[in-house]
Amino acid sequence: MRTGIIGAGRVGCSLAFALSEKGLPSGMYSKNPASVEFAAQIPCCSVFNDLARLVESSDTVFITVPDSSIRTVACSIVQACKINGLSGRVFLHCSGALSSEALECIRSAGGWTGSLHPIQTFPDRKTSWENMFGIYFGFEGSIEAEAASKEIVDLLDGTILMVDEGAKSLYHAAACVLSNYMATLSHTAARMLECAGIERETGIKAFAPLLQSTLENINKLGSVKALTGPISRGDSGTISAHLEALERQLPDELNLYKSLGRATVLLALEKGTINGEMALELMRLLGGSD
């Protein structure tokens, strides 16, 4: 399989590095001179300065540009390639939020289209390629695009997760809650620790094993069985103390704490560690309705 990559950002370069590690050469196209210079350093990666030549040299083309540019790039591909130049080729974008419909102009011109989203974070272009291995990839698209995606994912020791086209927004929202909002929660916890007189960096290091253990328990037991803490015990006294401290010292974080608390009450009810009366008392404290 000959693989082309359009866009030399974090995902595109990570993919090129990972494919190179597995012995699969790739081609890359980017309009950004700095990105082109970086891509030229990737082993087994050929840099193209012509979009049509990249497409013509590839069986499978990954479009790894920002979501807002995917449709524009797709139309540029159609305009750049000769009639029938897209036929028999697979085009995949890597957006978690958009479906393969974003590549409709390519599909209409004869290309096979799909979306293949690596369920992982890629914080930089140089080292994040290691995150490409052994992960899940959310896929939706044509049968031909699925076959090509499976070949790539198998090469990367990954697993395909099939996603319905109409469910991409919910799918991506789940990814944001687990990844992006985890960073927000960590930042919020760090502010709480600072107010408690604990230096931010020390506090995060001290609580990191707790976070890691929680993730391991969720992976092993599932979210409901992994739940612990005062809400799971129905400990309204401790929750009251938390609310009083936050209102006094960090009022801006109070609504976030209450929202998360109300959702956790429902989780504790499902787990069966609190009864209806305990749940009502906790919801009253957390500003929830009956």
Contacts with 246 (C-beta within 8 Å, 6 or more apart), sequence order:
192, 253, 254, 257
Longest dimension (CA), the chain: 71
Contacts with 98 (C-beta within 8 Å, 6 or more apart), sequence order:
67, 70, 115, 168
Nearest to 101 by CA among 167, 185, 31, 186: 167
pLDDT given for residue 290 in this prediction: 41
pLDDT given for residue 125 in this prediction: 87
Burial of 217 (0-12, 13-18, 19+ CB in 10 A): middle
Distance in angstroms (rounded) separating the CA atoms of residues 204 and 201: 5
63 phi and psi, to 5 degrees?
A: -105, 105
pLDDT given for residue 84 in this prediction: 73
CA 151 to mean position of chain CA atoms? 21
Distance in angstroms (rounded) separating the CA atoms of residues 91 and 256: 41
10-residue mean pLDDT profile of the chain (290 residues): values are 93 96 95 90 94 95 96 96 86 97 96 97 90 97 97 97 95 94 93 94 91 94 96 96 96 96 97 96 82
Q: Which residues pair with 26 in a beta bridge?
A: 3, 45
Distance in angstroms (rounded) separating the CA atoms of residues 189 and 213: 17
Tokens read off for 225:
């069985």
The pTM of the full predicted model, rounded to 2 decimals, is 0.88
pLDDT given for residue 6 in this prediction: 97
pLDDT given for residue 85 in this prediction: 82
Give CATH for domain 3-165. 3.40.50.720
65 phi and psi, to 5 degrees?
A: -95, 170
Do the strands 136-141 and 112-118 form a parallel or antiparallel pair, or are they unpaired? Answer: antiparallel
pLDDT given for residue 288 in this prediction: 62
Q: Are 29 and 61 in contact (CB under 8 A)?
A: no
132 phi and psi, to 5 degrees?
A: -80, -15
Q: By three-state DSSP, how is residue 215 classified?
A: helix
